[in-house]
Amino acid sequence: MVNVLFVCLGNICRSPSAEGIFRACVEREGLSDHIVIDSAGTGNWHVGNPPDSRAQAAAKRRGIDISGLRARVAKAEDFHHFDYVLAMDDENHADLSRICPPGREDRLALFLDFAPVLGQRHVPDPYYGGAQGFEHMLDLIESGSGELLAHIRRKHL
């Protein structure tokens, strides 16, 4: 079993979108029995809340339902359970490295580092912008998910 955790700041825009899109990708390839997926935030403002309505709508337009997800905070124990703890940007990465238990640093990475072909290392935070930001976020996440799954297949399955 391979365990994957996506992490952003609020766990209401980027990481739940990545959870939903990557899960759909994994299901499409018939790998649901091999890969466990979750998401979390480094901040606690939105704990217990569903994804931002704009993120839900954007995902729905691509056939993905993320309405059932609920925000939670990333914690040190996540580094024991998850093989991949994937940050959306440098700030998330820095916050995660502060709670990462010694010896588990190799589990922490930037999500888009698995998709070097994109030439972009961050999924920008769409929270304070317009609808276009959510579309761009999903484009990056869709490409990143395909590359991440290819990596996991090569390495683990």
Q: What is the contact surface with ligand 4NP in residues (CB under 6 A)?
A: 8-14, 45, 125, 127
Q: How far is the CB of 124 from ligand 4NP (least distance, A)?
A: 9
131-156 and 53-61 helices cross at what angle (nearest 10)?
70
Q: How far is the CB of 7 from ligand 4NP (least distance, A)?
A: 9
Q: Does the active-site annotation cover 25?
A: no
Q: Does the active-site annotation cover 125?
A: yes
Residue 134 and residue 58 in contact, taking contact as beta carbons nearer than 8 Å? yes
Instruction: Using alpha carbons, select from 79, 87, 137 the residue that is nearest to residue 103.
Output: 79
Which CB atom, from 45 or from 81, has the smaller least distance to ligand 4NP? 45
Q: Does the active-site annotation cover 83?
A: no
Residue 46 and residue 11 in contact, taking contact as beta carbons nearer than 8 Å? yes
Catalytic residues: 8, 14, 125
